[in-house]
Amino acid sequence: MKLQSSALMLFVILILFNTSLFGQTANKASDYQIIPKPAFQEILEGTFKVDKKTKIVYNEELNKEASYLSEILGAAIGKTLKIETKAEKGAIVLKLDDAIENAEGYELVVNTNEIVISGKTSTGVFYGIQTLKQLMPSEIEIAAKIASAFTIPAVIVKDQPRFVYRGMHLDVGRHFFPVSFIKQYIDLIAMHKMNTFHWHLTEDQGWRIEIKKYPKLTEVGAFRNGTIVGHHPGTSNDQKVYGGFYTQEEIKEVVAYAASKHVTVVPEIELPGHSAAAIAAYPELSCFPEEPTDLGKSPMSEKSKELQANGTAKVVYETWGVTGDVYCAGQEHTFKFLEDVLSEVLPLFPSKYIHIGGDECPKGNWKRCSNCQSKIKALGLHDEHELQSYFIQRIEKFVNAKGKQIIGWDEILEGGLAPNATVMSWRGTKGGIEAAKQHHDVIMTPGSHCYFDHYQSKDKDSEPLAIGGFTTVEKVYFYNPEPEELTAEEKKYILGAQGNVWTEYMETTDYVEYMILPRMTALSEVVWSAQDQRDWSDFELRLPNLIERYKAMNLNYAKHSLAEEK
Ligand code: ACM
Ligand code: ZN
């Protein structure tokens, strides 16, 4: 009995000790609830008090990070915090430290008389600030006032990412999202210590980026005359004109915003497939400019039917799936068009990479097209797969000459890989494995684990319409981007992984949020934290701290994986 009660007492003490400030319940005495899980953390005694006297001291190079921290802490206490470059006692110190090995690594030390955040680079310091935020009440995420003074629990964190590429993709072709949402999406990427936004800007159903030399791309290609209703092939057509695009000024604004959050924007300009919107604008890009756009079994809008009856053959695609109307590979003006487009796109994005698509390009038109067939003969190619390879390699040469590298979906392996291409493996991991064995860089995005357009429940009737599949948060969490089939040497070609968000069935920003949260939360840990740190019950205990933040940010997260909210 005595033993039992002292055990109970010990249990109560442990619970009290674990219930740290702001109701955070650490699962182990040595842990705070941080996602992605840091490589190392040790809880220290005490707290650091933030109030109106708190100053931020920084190295010159960290001016932006100091301003950012001053802004969020200033909002939290209701008074702007001073930032200065001169050492001060009791300050929050931001500094660069060459002794930190990883370019994105950082150390965060909070104790009663100071906070020090050191990074190898400003990116590392930015990530240290993200961790610091997770030690504070969730209002810090929305620049709301917390109190005129509040405390941060003492801790030492030493941290660094597992992979250099930690991405989230968004398809703005099927559904268009405003710049304000794109910025929120970038905020989420940064908050989870991810570093790449893959912006899927062109699709059959809409061309979304202003190209000054080809104004019809957005005048015609950015708007469709209707959209199918229900699951593909659809029960009817909604008959509503739908569309939108980003001006080059808006693109620059987004890229600059992303840079301030240490996020790189990788644009995707799809070729040779998924190009029906561009073809609707410039029909000569098709092998058969006179052949009317065919939606298969899907119902077409009355407006498009009327256009076709009056001799306008090509319209922007109104249904989902894959169309056979792709860029003609046999005519020089296709390449002239694409090179002109890329010449406008590349300077807008400081990214080393541009994604050129390469997926789902049916070869039927190329088989029937005399220009494509002549090209095959003239180049001594065996088939249409080699023609696609020629297409990609030609574009790669152009992109490389401009000092950039291409990423392509794994179909670019077919017919021979372009010499410097990075492969994004989506049809499972096979393409990624093959590319790594050929010593090409790889980004893993297998449908099985990284497609956030999949259902989150087996009970599909209880869910909003999705494309199919079934991918839980737990399944994402246990994804290992380094396939067992690869040797240690080959694994070095795996740059990282990415969550893909195809928006056929995501019409609203609310729905996008529901599909990514908290699956991207799980993925952030996959790409940041070491593989041997994977522990689901530990993650489940840390997740509520992030959920509190999503609530504060008014985000529509999914609840399937949350024990208390199921
Ligand atoms: C893809 O999902 N078609 C890359
Ligand atoms: Zn052709």
For residue 349, is it within any domain?
no
Q: Per-residue confidence at 459, pLDDT binned at 50, 70, 90?
A: confident
pLDDT at 98: 97
The confidence score (pLDDT) of residue 29 equals: 42
Determine the residue of 275, 450, 502 to mutate for testing ligand 1's pocket, defined as the one with the most ligand atoms within 8 A of the Cβ atom. 502
Residue 471 pLDDT > 90: yes
Residue 7 lies in a domain: no
Question: Would you say residue 8 has pLDDT above 80?
Answer: no
Least confident of 203-207, 486-490, 537-541: 537-541
Grade residue 561 by pLDDT with cuts at 50, 70 and 90: confident
Atom of ligand 1 nearest to the CA of 502: 2
Determine the atom of ligand 1 nearest the C-alpha atom of 424: 4
Among all chains, which residue has been given the structure tokens 């949260």? Answer: 517
Distance 466 CA to ligand 1 centre (A): 15
How far is the centre of ligand 2, averaged over its atoms, from the C-alpha of 270 (Å)? 17
Count of domains in the chain? 1
Give the pair of three-digit tokens for residue 259.
């840079």
Domain contains 544: no
Average pLDDT, the chain: 94
Assign 526 to helix, strand or coil: helix
11 has pLDDT over 50? no
Q: How far is the CA of 524 from the centre of ligand 1 (A)?
A: 21
Which residue's entry shows tokens 């910025």? Answer: 183
Report d(CA 334, CA 146) in Å as an integer.
57
**What does the pLDDT look like over 55-90, one tens digit per residue?**
999 999 999 999 999 999 999 999 989 999 998 899
- For atom 3 of ligand 1, the residue with the nearest CA is 359
Q: Quick one: pLDDT at residue 28?
A: 53
Mean pLDDT of 467-493: 97
Domain range enclosing 109: 27-159
pLDDT of residue 565: 55
Shortest-distance ligand to the CA of residue 365: 2
107 in a structural domain = yes
330 C-alpha to ligand 2 centroid (Å)? 5
Mean pLDDT of 350-373: 98
- Which band of pLDDT confidence, cut at 50, 70 and 90, is reported for residue 401? very high
Is 138 a member of any domain?
A: yes
500 alpha carbon, closest ligand: 1
In this predicted structure, what is the pLDDT of residue 190?
98
Question: What's the gap in Å between 168 CA and the centre of ligand 1?
Answer: 14
**Of 114 and 2, which is predicted with more confidence?**
114
Place of tokens 């003490």: 13
Which residues are near ligand 1 (CB < 6 Å)? 359-360, 409, 426
CATH code of 131's domain: 3.30.379.10
In a domain, 189, yes or no: no
| pLDDT for residue 412 is more than 90 | yes
Q: Which atom of ligand 1 is nearest to 409's Cα?
A: 4
* Three-state secondary structure of 19-71: ECHHHCECCCCCCCCCCCCCCEEEEEEEEEEECCCCEEEECHHHHHHHHHHHH
Q: What percent of the chain has pLDDT over 70?
A: 94
The Cβ-side half-sphere exposure at 524, using a 13 Å CA radius, reads: 23
CA of 173 to the centre of ligand 1 (A): 13
Q: What is the pLDDT of residue 25?
A: 40
* Local structure of 496: helix, strand or coil: strand
pTM: 0.94
16 has a pLDDT exceeding 60: no
Each residue of 219-234: pLDDT tens digit?
999 999 999 999 999 9
The yes-or-no verdict on residue 141 having pLDDT over 50 is yes
Has residue 32 been placed in a domain?
yes
Is the pLDDT reported for residue 18 higher than 50? no
Rounded mean pLDDT, 93-117: 97
94, β-bridge pairs? 58, 117
- Output the pLDDT for position 462: 87
Place 328 in a pLDDT band, splitting at 50, 70 and 90.
very high
For residue 116, tell me if it sits in a domain: yes
Nearest residue (by CA) to ligand 1, atom 2, is 426
For residues 478 and 365, what is the distance between their CA atoms, to the nearest angstrom?
Answer: 41
